[in-house]
Structure 1
Amino acid sequence: MGKIIAIANQKGGVGKTTTSVNLAASLGVLEKKVLLIDADPQANATSGLGIDVEAVEIGTYQLLEHSASAKDAILKTNSPNLDLIPSHIDLVAIEIELVDKDSREYMLKKALKDVIPLYDYILIDCAPSLGLLTLNALTAAHSVMIPIQCEYFALEGLGKLLNTIKSVQKIHNKELDIEGLLLTMYDSRLRLSNQVVEEVKKHFDTMVFKTIIQRNVRLSEAPSYGESIISYDADSKGANNYLSLAQELIEKNSK
């Protein structure tokens, strides 16, 4: 039975898509069957895995509308053991279209029922907002992973996200768990980076992943080639970080 993990933070630029793509690819390399769902209208996870966004005919939009099944929307990627449900700019309209629908928060949950048994992990790359798209992801997920960048405003907005998670737990999804907080964009040379790490660990202690994702040029280059860091440069610091995160996640979930 697949574990569904939403990767969410309403702040943009914290490494959500980078984490979604590279964690998914790393889990695949470690022989787990993985489905990545691009639930962001910017479709960066889709293009980051080498899929032509303009050519997408069935994706997350059709899934939420229930005009196509999850199995119809799945694309194979060049990454071992990794499938993708792509996104498209159309997805922007879904918030408005779903607004009058009954059970609008449960559209993704319903759509994924058939494919959960086919995968070990299903990762959802969420949009940088707390709108209906992210709400659907949190309602469908078993847990949520929160990337936090090691920069000045790191903890700003985190309270808001944790409150949203609490209300989703209360109203829509009692099972929703926090998988963990992931520190990203860490630069060991900067005092600020180290202060943020200390601060986050002080406040959240065991909720923080041991693996920290370091700033890495190769990591920011990979998406422009439509590749994960694992296939773009398997020896890079970025690839090592994400393989280590995947390993930590697998160990955590095998207890």
Structure 2
Amino acid sequence: MLACTRLWAKRSGVQSICLCGRERRPGSARRQHGRRAMDDASLWGFLDRGGPALWVIAGLSVLTLALILWKIWRLMLTGAWAGAATARAVALWQDGARDAAIALLRARRGLRARLALTAMRAVQNPQWTEAQAREETTRLAKGLLHEARSGLRALELIATIAPLVGLLGTVLGMIGAFQALQDSGSSADPAVLAGGIWEALLTTAAGMAVAIPASMALSWFESVADTVQADMEDAATQIFIAGPIRTERA
């Protein structure tokens, strides 16, 4: 496409001169540069710049999200935030309405409800002493607490190793950048070195970005599990205090 460049004369009668030539659009270079920037900023370009360590961190991020969603779903199924029914059943048990308390908990699948129901049945079992009833309740409580804390070790592991993987990727990237600087000799370009350094630092930032939410989720889940444990211990204590006291059999 031809474009005309007009030269305006101030003191001549010639109003303009049209120089025809191939048009060079200044916006095309900017668009090409922007397109390259978009390609570099894409997800695959970002992962490719970080190298293998960044791919590992990306996998850890997906695993972290899956673990958090799965843990929330499991805690909801086990009634981690629903302890009102167990509290009502314990109150009925203390008031002497033993059958009503057991009936209230029989259809419940929450951690607190299952432990309270086991404790009530253990107290009412005429063949067991108080020590045996407490031992059975303790055995079930350990299993329920293990269920409440399932998956937390994996989150703890991710929160620990994600920054280390990022640091390893940064160290390897820095080694490569300085090797390239050494190979270039006296004609080294500082911009190339700076580009290699910031690309190497991507893995450290990505590792921290994965470790921080994993640590936050781990602390939250641990606090929920601690609350459930405290509620279970309190309910079992109240049930045994209100239950019949049996002496050891000879």
TM range (shorter): under 0.3
Largest Rg, 1 or 2: 2
* TM-score, structure 2 normalization: 0.20
* TM-score, structure 1 normalization: 0.20
- Structure with a larger share of its residues in strand: 1
